[in-house]
Amino acid sequence: MPPILFAANWKMHHGPVQAEAFAREFRELTFPSPDRELWFFPPAVSIGVLADAFRSRPDIRIGCQDVHWEAAGAFTGALSIPMVEEAGASAALVGHSERRHVFGETDADTGKKVTSLLKAGFRAMLCVGETLVEREAGKTEAVVLRQLNAGLGAVAPGDWPYVLVAYEPVWAIGTGRNATPDDAAAVHGVIREWIIAHGGPADVRILYGGSVKAGNVLALVSREGIDGVLVGGASLTPDGWAEIVGIGETTGLS
């Protein structure tokens, strides 16, 4: 079995002081396991703190929540890939639903970001998913395929090992509602079929994100085709996150 990937998206929480305190407590609660990977996507100001705090943990990777596709320029407020790499990041989220629906990131933007990240040797985690209106209209598959075409359509054969996908139905993010394991697995199957049809390997990791918590994570990661979870609010406390990532230790999954 490949390692389960537990990814924490802190969104606009935990500046450097809070991040350092989190890391100190989390190190005492968890230990490296060959059967799982832990990724953190903190606010940009906390990337360096976490990179330093977890330097001795080979199971932990630090990423950034967003990047610009240009390496430098007059883009006030944006962060380049070289900047976040210098801070300690080696992965990035692309097209998170909040970037799309709050900040206006377009499908075309996601494609440019993925291309730039892969060129720099970064891991790119493309987020895809439908709104409630789209789901109720039966458009889930069409929306996801459109986002995959735009975000990953230009991936070169040799770059697929650096690509991940997170299926995060917009209606389930921060709402307390989540897709059932069957719902998630069905969309994951659509995503995997698209990847294979476009020259990618069958083992590209696909995560589920959307109101994941300790009470439902086992049912999700136990399903074939769900390779991990992308977690928001439930990853913000050291003990809560340790409980989620430790779920495999008590069930035989990790």
What is the predicted pLDDT for the residue at 247?
Answer: 78
The β-bridge partners of 123 are: 91
Position 177 pLDDT exceeds 90: no
Position 251 pLDDT exceeds 70: no
Examine the residue annotation and report whether 68 is marked as an active-site residue of this protein: no
**pLDDT tens figures, 193-234:** 999 999 999 999 999 998 899 999 999 999 999 999 999 999
> By the 8 A CB rule, do 160 and 124 touch?
no
What is the predicted pLDDT for the residue at 249?
Answer: 57
Query: CATH for 4-250, among 3.40.50.2300, 3.20.20.70, 3.90.1150.10, 3.40.50.720?
Result: 3.20.20.70
**pLDDT tens figures, 227-237:** 999 999 999 99
Q: How far is CA 189 from CA 73, 105, 147, 151, 208, in A?
A: 40, 26, 15, 18, 12
Task: Check 14, 68, 168, 188 and give the catalytic one.
Answer: 168
Interval 143-159 mean pLDDT = 97
Phi, psi of 153 (to 5 degrees): -65, -20
Position 110 pLDDT exceeds 50: yes
> By the 8 A CB rule, do 224 and 184 touch?
no
* Whole-number average pLDDT of the chain: 94
Q: Tell how far CA 105 is from the center of its chain.
A: 17
Query: Whole-angstrom Cα distance, residue 222 to residue 30?
Result: 21
Interval 107-131 mean pLDDT = 98
As a residue count, the chain comes to: 254
Task: Check 68, 96, 130, 188 and give the catalytic one.
Answer: 96
Examine the residue annotation and report whether 86 is marked as an active-site residue of this protein: no
Interval 27-42 mean pLDDT = 96
> By the 8 A CB rule, do 238 and 197 touch?
no
Phi, psi of 242 (to 5 degrees): -65, -35
What is the predicted pLDDT for the residue at 172?
Answer: 80
**pLDDT-derived band at 130, boundaries 50, 70, 90:** very high
